[in-house]
Amino acid sequence: MSPKKAFKRILANRLAFAGGLVVLAMFMVSWLAPVLATHDPEAVAIKERLKPPGYNQHLLGTDSLGRDVLSRLIWGSRISLKVGFVAVGLATLIGLILGAIAGYRGGLVDGLIMRFCDLMLCFPSMFLILAVIAILDPSIWNVMIVIGLTSWMGVARLVRAEFLSLMTRDFVLAARAQGASAARIVWRHLLPNAMGPVLVSATLGVAGAILTESSLSFLGLGVQPPTPTWGSMLTDGKDHLTRAWWLSLYPGLAILATVLSYNLLGEGLREAFNPHSSNRDNS
């Protein structure tokens, strides 16, 4: 399916379109964080600690150290989006390379790569990430790299399956008959036709990476204070659930809205690139 036709189908899908709008809004908020945040997210003001929403120009209240919750939410969006895109970008790159090699070469090479993929899938990803992060220093770069190195298996399997299907198509057989090199067949014929499902997987993967980063920050193994993240804000709020409900509510809603939006957009992309769905529409 052409990208133009897929884009039209996404626009026609109300849930996917709404998810895309929220994702775009998150991008704008993250990009304009220095302008939108009215307070320093790391500035401590003990005299204004645990003030309710609306107090003294603090629209969403303050936390246990008197820091503005809204400003920390805005700056925290940068961390979440950065972790999501860098981690998924690394995982997609590794998955593309290994999946392409396995699907194109086949035989022993395919078997070795897929058995290694199966071995990685045997380990619960969250426990594997926790073990690695516990050994390394908990920093944003370590979090992104570890998430990326432990989440490439699905992309590799997907790319391999697409390559195996495309290898029997007439245009690939014709390119081989004309003496095209392996690199040309992969880059000009196989990869462009396999990118639709990969794009869907990457979109859904961003949501998973954001959830993983929030979980690590909540456990104290993610990005370290005083850098604001949504997960660390939840950690601060759990000790004040009865006195300061807003400390847990707003970062929780931010995580929910972001993850739900990426999932809706990913499902919309899946339907847009699905030829069987296209056939149902035409009928």
- For domain 3-36+66-282, give the fold: MetI-like fold (1.10.3720)
What is the rounded distance in angstroms from the CA atom of residue 246 to the CA atom of residue 44?
18
Q: How much is the pTM? A: 0.84
Those residues with Cβ within 8 angstroms of residue 225's Cβ, 6 or more apart along the chain or in another chain = 232
SS (H, E, C) 106-130: CHHHHHHHHHHHHHHHHCCHHHHHH
Position 276 scores a pLDDT of 56
pLDDT band at 279 (very low <50, low <70, confident <90, very high): very low
What is the rounded distance in angstroms from the CA atom of residue 2 to the CA atom of residue 275?
11
What is the rounded distance in angstroms from the CA atom of residue 120 to the CA atom of residue 106?
20
Written as one string, the DSSP assignment of 157-185 is HHHHHHHHHHTTSHHHHHHHHTT--HHHI
For the ranges 6-20, 70-84, 87-101, which has the lowest average pLDDT? 6-20
Helix, strand, or coil (residue 267): helix
Position 99 scores a pLDDT of 92
Is 275's pLDDT higher than 70? Answer: no
Those residues with Cβ within 8 angstroms of residue 53's Cβ, 6 or more apart along the chain or in another chain = 59, 60, 61, 69, 246
Looking at per-residue pLDDT, the higher value among 269 and 114 belongs to: 114
- The residues pairing with 62 across neighbouring beta strands, listed in sequence order, are 68
Domain ranges of the chain: 3-36+66-282
Structure tokens at 52: 């309710």
pLDDT band at 138 (very low <50, low <70, confident <90, very high): confident
Backbone angles phi, psi at 55, to 5 degrees: -80, 125
Helix, strand, or coil (residue 68): strand
Number of neighbours of residue 168 by Cβ within 10 angstroms: 8
